[in-house]
Homo-oligomer: A and B are copies of this chain.
Amino acid sequence: MALGYYFGIDVGGTSVKMSLYSEKEDAFIKKWSIKSGKFDDENILIDSIIDSMKQVCAEEGLDFKASKGIGIGIPGPVTDDGTVLNCVNLGWGILKLKEILVKKTGISNIEVGNDANVAALGEMWKGAGKGYKSVMMVTLGTGVGGGLVIDGHIHAGNKGAAGEIGHITVEAGEEDTCGCGCKGCLEQYASATGIVRMARKMYPETYKEDVTAKDIFDAAKEGCEKAENVVEKFASYLGTALSNVANVVSPEVFIIGGGVAAAGQIITEKVSNYYRQYSMYALKDTDIRLAALGNDAGIYGCVKMVIKGENR
């Protein structure tokens, strides 16, 4: 193996997505998962990740210590120096993860990023953002997450809080409270949960407890007027929010991913309409695309953080 190999590790709340990437083949030579979760001691999860990397190296006949780098994504805020700040899903407080990993592995080229930022970087490198260097990725799942890449690098921001566009205020008149404690956050209208909440508020007789965001998008595609109205409202909030994001950072492309985005073109078409309506002239033609890498975006981004010295 003339060129190096790298590990891309995307840590979630229930499982850790692991990967071994070969620079020569420009591809993953192995992808696997291990169990994640909250443990009494953070070292339990960290050590099991390291052990798993070592074991795969042994299986593949590779020297673990010769690995050229490890990129790791965490579901919580991460600062530029690789410190994790309070990761609720893992039960972690403030943890100098980069420092800990360098010490435990003896490998110096290690970077830690927030999972949404890492996914944005992955999409830029190998997915829907190929060819671009400034990317805003929005993940529409149970909540609304966001990742920001500027000039080819993750922009973590002060306290690792950049890109958290789920908590942009889009509705001053909202009465329900968002998980963050504020009212009128984008997440209350554009997440899977938010779409259902809106639908049930708009049409309480039609939409009962068991309706899903997927049901609503499916019905809208089939021409159901009520579902169409819910989708329009969803799109108007998300389109406005993206136009506000464009006013702040002016990315080259917006990428929409996450479970809700499985609804497909209806999302980008509707959201683009509102985006253009609310945007200044110079920003109107910024592309809004669907994510291309699915759950692999994170591991691609993790590798990208540490490959070719382009990390920071």
Q: A interface vs B, CB < 8 Å? A: 77, 85, 134, 148, 150, 155-165, 167-169, 171-172, 180-182, 240, 243-252, 277-283, 286
Query: Are A240 and B181 within 8 A (Cβ)?
Result: no
Q: Is B282 a contact of A249 with CB atoms below 8 Å?
A: no
A165 to B159, CA, bound (A): 22
Q: List 22 A-B contacts (CB under 8 A).
A: A148-B249, A150-B155, A157-B250, A158-B252, A158-B286, A159-B250, A161-B246, A161-B283, A162-B250, A164-B247, A165-B247, A165-B248, A168-B248, A169-B240, A169-B243, A169-B244, A172-B172, A172-B240, A181-B281, A182-B277, A182-B279, A244-B248
Residues of chain B within 8 A (CB-CB) of A181 are 280-281
Q: Does the CB pair B248–A77 fall under 8 Å?
A: no
In the bound complex, what is the Cα–Cα distance between A281 and B167 (angstroms)?
Answer: 11
Give the complex CA separation of A50 and B268 in angstroms.
Answer: 48
Give Cα A308 to B252, complex, Å.
Answer: 29
B134 x A157 contact (CB < 8 A): yes
Whether A248 touches B148, Cβ cut-off 8 Å, given contacts A161-B280, A243-B169, A283-B161, is yes
A1 → chain B closest CB, angstroms: 34
Residue among A250, A279, A283 having the largest count of chain B Cβ atoms under 10 Å? A250
Q: How far is the CA of A247 from the CA of B172 in the complex (A)?
A: 16
A76 to chain B, nearest CB (A): 10
Given contacts A158-B134, A249-B148, contact A280 B167 (CB under 8 A): yes
Partner of A182, one of B159, B251, B278, B282: B278
Question: Residue on B with the closest CB to A180?
Answer: B280
The residues of B that contact A245 with a CB separation of less than 8 Å are 248
Having A156-B250, A159-B250, A244-B244, one finds 19 other A-B pairs with CB under 8 Å, namely: A85-B282, A134-B157, A148-B248, A150-B155, A155-B249, A158-B252, A160-B282, A161-B282, A164-B247, A164-B250, A164-B280, A167-B247, A167-B280, A169-B243, A169-B278, A180-B280, A182-B277, A245-B248, A249-B249
